[in-house]
Amino acid sequence: MKAIVDLAVATLGPVLFVLLFAGAFLGLVVGVMLIVDSPRVVRWNYALNRWYSTRKALRPLDESVDVKRIVYRWHRVLGVVVFAGALYTLDALAFSYKTGALVRAFRDLGNPAILNLVFETVRIFLIVGNIAALAASVVLCFRPSLLKGLEAWGDRQYSSRESTKPLEVMRYQPDDFVRARPRIVGALVTIGSLYVLITLGMLLR
């Protein structure tokens, strides 16, 4: 696990450094421009300001896909497949699941006793879930109509577009604040950008 973390740091570290440096340099340019020529920065903001709706992008994911007809038509085949998968998973959880090996692999993340408790809880949860899948697969093979009550209870649609609707409202308060106080904001952005650039430069030594 430590080797993976070291590899991620060695790979992503230079990329993050370049991104921070480029962002700080751009912030310095914008800050200085806000001080000396704020109307030009406002025009840039107006030209670059675009609205991208996530609700429109997520619309295909919110469309219901009805698979009940396929399930009931091929209920025996699907029941056998689910039964075989659940049986194989139960066998692996009962005889091949090695909590100790997982604890040793993730020992850098926390206390071994807590990790062992977490992995054992996940194991028990998976065993219970696969036993339920075995029962459901038998019912699906021989009496799929018994699942209709459970299906009617669980067949509900939750729209992600509705939950993210408040995030789609345009908020112009930051733009108005900058337009009202361009020099103050420009000075703060310039100071912050210079601080980041100097700090990054010291890291190169």
Mean per-residue pLDDT, 58-83: 78
- pLDDT tens for residues 2-39? 566 566 667 777 888 889 999 999 999 999 998 988 88
Percent above pLDDT 70 for the chain: 83
What is the rounded CA–CA span in Å between residue 204 and residue 19? 15
Provide the pLDDT for residue 154. Answer: 61
The structure tokens listed for 123 are 């194991």
pLDDT band at 193 (very low <50, low <70, confident <90, very high): very high
Which one-letter amino acid corresponds to residue 66? D
Angle between helices 182-203 and 38-48 (to 10 degrees): 80
Rg (CA), the chain: 28
3-state secondary structure of 8: helix
Q: CB-based burial of residue 48 (10 Å sphere; 0-12 exposed, 13-18 middle, 19+ buried)?
A: exposed
pLDDT of residue 204: 74
pTM: 0.48
Give pLDDT, residue 26: 92
pLDDT, residue 173, reads: 82
Reported as a single tens digit per residue, the pLDDT across 128-174 is 999 988 888 888 888 777 777 666 666 666 666 666 677 777 777 88
Give me the residue label for tokens 């450094």.
Answer: 17
pLDDT band at 180 (very low <50, low <70, confident <90, very high): confident
Report, as an integer, the average pLDDT of 70-98. 84
pLDDT at 152: 67
Residue 71 has pLDDT above 80, yes or no: no
The pLDDT of residue 9 is 64
**What does the angle CA 52 – CA 55 – CA 59 come to, to the nearest 5 degrees?**
125
The ranges assigned to domains in the chain are 1-47+183-205, 66-142
When pLDDT is cut at 50, 70 and 90, the band that residue 190 belongs to is very high
Tokens 């990329």 locate to: 15
